[in-house]
Amino acid sequence: MSTQTAAHGHDSHVTHHIPKVGTLVAVWAALIVLTFATSAASFLELGEFNIVLAMLIALTKVSLVAWIFMGVRYSTTLTRLFCVAGLVWLVIMIVMTSSDYVSRHWQYEGQPWSHAPSGGDSK
């Protein structure tokens, strides 16, 4: 290490990138827009694709937060590996939970009180 690097107490190959304020504001605005998009998507009748749309919006938001706010973009390869490993583990958990849910054959049975006529004169 050179005397200048030793005086500052860090290695010269480690660089800390600080995003510009404009970038942070743009990402924040995108997160707000995506939050409203999530809310708006909940009112759409897409059937089984509602969860797909919600997960795509959530994945986009997570990617923005990790890539920009958490600095994964400028991190080491090992840090990126652990981020990908976390996402792979999440996918494994979602697939296992979904396979359990799909493999059950549930029949809807209404509650006994749902078929009884209401008493009283209220309409």
Q: 45: closest CA among 34, 36, 53, 56? A: 53
Residue 52 and residue 29 in one domain: yes
- Token pair 């004169």: residue: 121
pLDDT in tens, 44-95: 998 888 988 998 999 999 999 988 888 888 888 998 899 889 989 988 998 9
Number of residues written out for the chain: 123
Burial per residue of 25-45, b for 16 or more beta-carbon CB atoms within 10 angstroms, e otherwise:
eebeeeeeeeeebeeeeeeee
In the chain, what's the furthest Cα-to-Cα distance? 91
Residue 84 and residue 60 in one domain: no
Residue 48 and residue 64 in one domain: yes
In a domain, 110, yes or no: no
Q: Which domain holds residue 30?
A: 19-70
Residue 66 and residue 24 in one domain: yes
pLDDT in tens, 37-57: 999 999 999 888 898 899 899
Count: domains in the chain: 2
